[in-house]
């Protein structure tokens, strides 16, 4: 999304928020209300030209406190392999598998996480990359697990699927807040868990979930599903397409 | 212009892909090979997962071989009987290859095997071709055109199950093309190549087929072997990306036609030296990567069930 597009999205977000706030006194009783700029369908859609997108999370809080937003992709298991030199060439030798790994992870906060919450609570709630548990599923190698775990974190950061920096939650007039989360081109698909938390006196006093679904749409979604569900037909179609294209090329070039 | 590849699950520039397809197509048209052995390493280099690169490449070769065979067929340069025998071996070989591919992928050694296969074959074939073609040029210069010998008699002519191949003017054991087809089929599945760079020299030097018939016949069997690989990869590994294959094919067929016309104007012996240098260079480059310390020792993959 361009800068102009982002600020435009933000303006829309604030307008929506203003309407929510004007909507009723009932809302004022809630300690925390949050919404996303991609409402009402809460989808990030991957099309043929998809190069990544930004989603603005915003809302209002009642009283003092800080705001933390955590975005988790679908939980999956990952295997980390390590190469070693065997007889002069580099070969994958060791493997450690980790479970309960969010396929995407980003966190945004109005102040540094250490200042807001004790580490034990951050670990318990999985707030911050350094507080993710990442338990091993099955290991072919005891000890030295930590170097595999840090490799997993490092490689997920490099791929852009783990946000390296803690994002900034802006607070306006001690009441309204907003943050922009970037989803890269290689964002994993599936149902996401977005949690907006109000933090006061080193504790989470209120939390709200915002729905998020990342999916392929249009021709790409069709191709992906076709390839996985109707594998045999997909293979035959791919062959038929290639045969036709080759034949067409022959006809075209014979004329030239 | 970015194009999202639904199976590879990444976005790449469409013009980059068209350009790669055209460049490889140009070389393949010029040298009369499928070009898969060049395309697969390039695709892996620009970020396509090796498993997707190999499977998609097979699909692309189906298309480029069809247009090649049709051109050769119209000149009556295809030995269909030989093609079918090669094919029988090729079908068994590629089926075995796809199963092996799946097993290697599960135990995490597929990248290594693909790399090793490339290094060994490119280096060996490149060196052999360079030696052969340089020697041929040398002889031509020294004595003018050498007297043509129909074929040499070696141990291979003692094998049973003899069969007559009229178009190739050969009377040899069917086990030879059958075994050759099998080996090419295994390689096609594991490396995603048509195997022409191996099959063409083998047909000339091992079977003793006339050079004129060789390219068309090898392309003919390539269509079926790569179609079989495409189908099996699609069913077993779901790694065929039709969007990627299609974009590469468009660039590839255009490049191949231009390359074919340029190649027809160059002297055949020099062309083979060029080809040999290219193959050998790629082999050396890949072997360097295998022994050099990689910048990242770790790699992350999704852990699939059953492991």
Domain identity same for A85 and A204: yes
239-278 of B, contacting A, C-beta below 8 A: 240, 242-243, 245-246, 249-250, 253-254, 257
Domain with B86, as residue range(s), is 2-291
Domain identity same for A211 and A223: no
Domain identity same for A139 and A256: no
Domain identity same for A77 and A198: yes
pLDDT at A69 over 90: yes
Q: Which residues in chain B touch residue A234, judged by CB atoms under 8 angstroms apart?
A: 234, 240, 242
Q: Which residues in chain A touch residue B12, judged by CB atoms under 8 angstroms apart?
A: none
Do the Cβ atoms of A234 and B10 come within 8 Å?
no
Q: Which residues in chain A touch residue B68, judged by CB atoms under 8 angstroms apart?
A: 246
Is-contact A151 B298, C-beta < 8 A?
yes
pLDDT at A21 over 60: no
Domain with A237, as residue range(s), is 218-256
Check whether the bond before A40 is cis (ω within 30° of 0): yes
Domain identity same for A213 and A109: yes
Q: What is the pLDDT of residue A29?
A: 61
HSE-up of residue B88 (Cα within 13 Å, Cβ side)? 11
Q: Does B47 contact A at CB distance below 8 Å? A: no
Q: What is the pLDDT of residue A1?
A: 43
Question: How many other C-beta atoms lie within 10 A of the C-beta of residue B211?
Answer: 12
**How confident is the model over A194-231, as pLDDT tens digits?**
999 999 999 999 999 998 999 888 777 788 888 888 88
Average pLDDT of the segment spanning B50-59 = 86
Question: For chain A, what is the domain count?
Answer: 2
Q: What is the pLDDT of residue B143?
A: 57
Task: Give me the sign of the Cα torsion angle B86, B87, B89, B95.
Answer: positive
Distance CA(A195)–CA(A201), nearest Å, equals 19
Does residue B86 lie within any of the structural domains?
Answer: yes
Domain identity same for A137 and A248: no
Confidence of residue A24 (pLDDT cuts 50, 70, 90): very low
In terms of phi and psi (left: phi > 0; alpha: psi -120 to 50; beta: otherwise), the region of A188 is beta
- ipTM of this complex prediction, to 2 decimal places: 0.77
DSSP state of A140: S
Do the Cβ atoms of B4 and A245 come within 8 Å?
no
Does residue B114 lie within any of the structural domains?
Answer: yes
Closest CA to B218 of B72, B60, B27: B72
**How confident is the model over B77-136, as pLDDT tens digits?**
788 888 888 889 988 998 898 888 888 878 777 778 878 888 888 888 888 888 888 887
Does residue B281 lie within any of the structural domains?
Answer: yes
More confident residue, A67 or B303: A67
Domain identity same for A152 and A254: no
Domain identity same for A209 and A236: no
**How confident is the model over B194-215, as pLDDT tens digits?**
777 778 878 877 777 877 778 7
Do the Cβ atoms of A238 and B7 come within 8 Å?
no
Domain identity same for A42 and A102: yes
Distance CA(B30)–CA(B32), nearest Å, equals 6
Distance CA(B263)–CA(A15), nearest Å, equals 66
DSSP state of A18: H
Which residue does chain A place closest to B288, by CA atoms? A89
Average pLDDT of the segment spanning B148-165 = 63
Does residue B128 lie within any of the structural domains?
Answer: yes
Domain identity same for A116 and A229: no
Question: For chain B, what is the domain count?
Answer: 1
Closest CA to B7 of A238, A3, A103, A151: A238
pLDDT at B16 over 90: yes
Domain identity same for A60 and A132: yes
Do the Cβ atoms of B66 and A89 come within 8 Å?
no
Q: What is the pLDDT of residue A178?
A: 94
Domain identity same for A240 and A213: no
Does residue B304 lie within any of the structural domains?
Answer: no
Does residue B305 lie within any of the structural domains?
Answer: no
80-119 of B, contacting A, C-beta below 8 A: 108-109, 111-112, 116
CA distance A65 to chain B (A): 39
Q: Which residues in chain A touch residue B231, judged by CB atoms under 8 angstroms apart?
A: 232, 235-236, 239
Q: What is the pLDDT of residue B304?
A: 63
Does residue B303 lie within any of the structural domains?
Answer: no
């Amino acid at each position: 999304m361009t800068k102009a597009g982002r600020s435009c999205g933000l303006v829309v977000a604030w307008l929506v928020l203003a309407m929510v706030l004007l909507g009723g006194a009932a809302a004022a009783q809630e300690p925390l209300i949050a919404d996303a700029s991609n409402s009402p369908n809460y989808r990030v859609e991957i099309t043929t030209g998809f190069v990544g997108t930004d989603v603005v999370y915003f809302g209002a809080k009642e009283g003092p406190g800080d705001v933390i937003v955590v975005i988790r992709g679908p939980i999956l298991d990952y295997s980390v392999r390590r190469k070693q030199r065997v007889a002069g060439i580099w070969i994958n030798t060791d493997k450690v598998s980790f479970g309960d790994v969010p396929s995407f992870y980003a966190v945004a906060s109005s102040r540094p996480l250490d200042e807001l919450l004790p580490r034990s609570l951050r670990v318990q709630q999985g707030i911050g990359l350094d507080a993710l548990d990442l338990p091993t599923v099955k290991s072919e190698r005891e000890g030295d697990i930590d170097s595999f775990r840090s490799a997993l974190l490092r490689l997920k950061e490099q791929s852009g699927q783990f946000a390296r920096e803690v994002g900034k939650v802006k607070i306006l007039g001690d009441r309204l807040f907003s943050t922009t989360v970037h989803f890269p081109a290689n964002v994993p698909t599936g149902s996401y868990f977005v949690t907006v938390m109000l933090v006061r006196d080193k504790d989470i006093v209120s939390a709200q979930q915002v729905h998020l679904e990342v999916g392929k749409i249009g021709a790409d979604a069709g191709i992906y599903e076709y390839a996985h569900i109707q594998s045999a037909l997909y293979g035959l179609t791919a062959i038929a397409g290639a045969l036709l294209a080759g034949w067409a090329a022959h006809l075209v070039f014979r004329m030239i | 212009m970015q194009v999202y590849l639904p199976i590879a699950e990444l976005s790449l520039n469409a013009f980059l892909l068209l350009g790669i397809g055209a460049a490889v197509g140009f070389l393949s048209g010029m040298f009369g090979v499928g070009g898969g052995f060049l395309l697969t390493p390039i695709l892996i280099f620009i970020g396509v997962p090796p498993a997707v690169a190999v499977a998609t490449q097979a699909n692309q070769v189906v298309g480029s071989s069809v247009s090649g065979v049709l051109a050769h067929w119209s000149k009556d340069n295809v030995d269909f009987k030989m093609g079918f025998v090669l094919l029988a071996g090729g079908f068994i070989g590629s089926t075995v290859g796809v199963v092996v591919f799946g097993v290697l992928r599960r135990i995490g050694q597929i990248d290594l095997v693909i790399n090793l296969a490339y290094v060994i074959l490119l280096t060996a074939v490149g060196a052999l071709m360079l030696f052969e073609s340089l020697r041929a040029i040398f002889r031509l210069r020294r004595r003018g055109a050498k007297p043509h010998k129909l074929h040499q008699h070696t141990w291979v002519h003692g094998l049973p199950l003899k069969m007559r191949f009229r178009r190739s003017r050969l009377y040899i054991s069917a086990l030879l093309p059958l075994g050759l087809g099998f080996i090419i089929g295994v390689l096609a599945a594991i490396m995603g190549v048509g195997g022409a760079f191996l099959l063409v020299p083998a047909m000339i030097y091992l079977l003793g087929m006339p050079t004129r018939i060789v390219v068309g016949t090898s392309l003919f069997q390539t269509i079926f072997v790569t179609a079989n690989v495409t189908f099996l990869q699609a069913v077993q590994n779901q790694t065929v990306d039709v969007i990627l294959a299609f974009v590469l094919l468009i660039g590839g067929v255009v490049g191949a036609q231009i390359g074919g016309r340029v190649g027809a104007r160059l002297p055949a012996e020099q062309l083979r030296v060029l080809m040999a240098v290219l193959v050998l260079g790629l082999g050396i480059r890949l072997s360097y990567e295998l022994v050099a310390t990689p910048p990242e020792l770790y790699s992350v993959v999704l852990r699939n069930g059953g492991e």
